[in-house]
Amino acid sequence: MVLAAVLGAALFAATPARADGCYICTQGSDCGQYCRYRGSDTQENRKKCQAAKCKIGGTASCPTAANIRICSAGLPSPLDELRQLARGD
């Protein structure tokens, strides 16, 4: 039991923290209501969301409701993220 707790804590500590945010897409955006990005609010992330047809109106934390449409700014799929973690990238 103690070993499992130690291993769990070690895995948690070794996993890099990732901060996602969302841009609010204004009315008329083809992207959806929000565009999700990884990391900080940067010009690069804004360009990725604009390329996804989001007319950025501001920033927000990403909503979790099922009826909200969210596109992503070139983020890897969850399966690709698991593969990266397995490789140790």
Please tell me what DSSP assigns to residue 27.
T
Residue 48 lies in a domain: yes
Residue 7 lies in a domain: no
Task: Render pLDDT for 28-53 as a digit per residue (tens, 0 to 9).
Answer: 999 889 999 988 999 999 999 999 99
Report the pLDDT value the prediction gives residue 1, as an integer from 0 to 100.
Answer: 56
Token pair 């083809």 in the structure block, residue = 30
- Reading the chain (89 residues) residue by residue, the pLDDT tens digits are 554 554 454 444 444 445 689 999 999 999 889 999 988 999 999 999 999 999 999 999 999 999 999 988 776 666 777 787 888 86
Report the pLDDT value the prediction gives residue 58, as an integer from 0 to 100.
Answer: 96
Residue 34 lies in a domain: yes
Residue 43 lies in a domain: yes
Strand-pair partners of 56: 25
Residue 71 lies in a domain: yes
Counted domains in the chain: 1
Q: Where are the alpha helices (DSSP H) in the chain?
A: 2-14, 43-51, 78-87
Which structural domain range is residue 35 located in? Answer: 18-87
Residue 12 lies in a domain: no
Residue 51 lies in a domain: yes
Residue 74 lies in a domain: yes
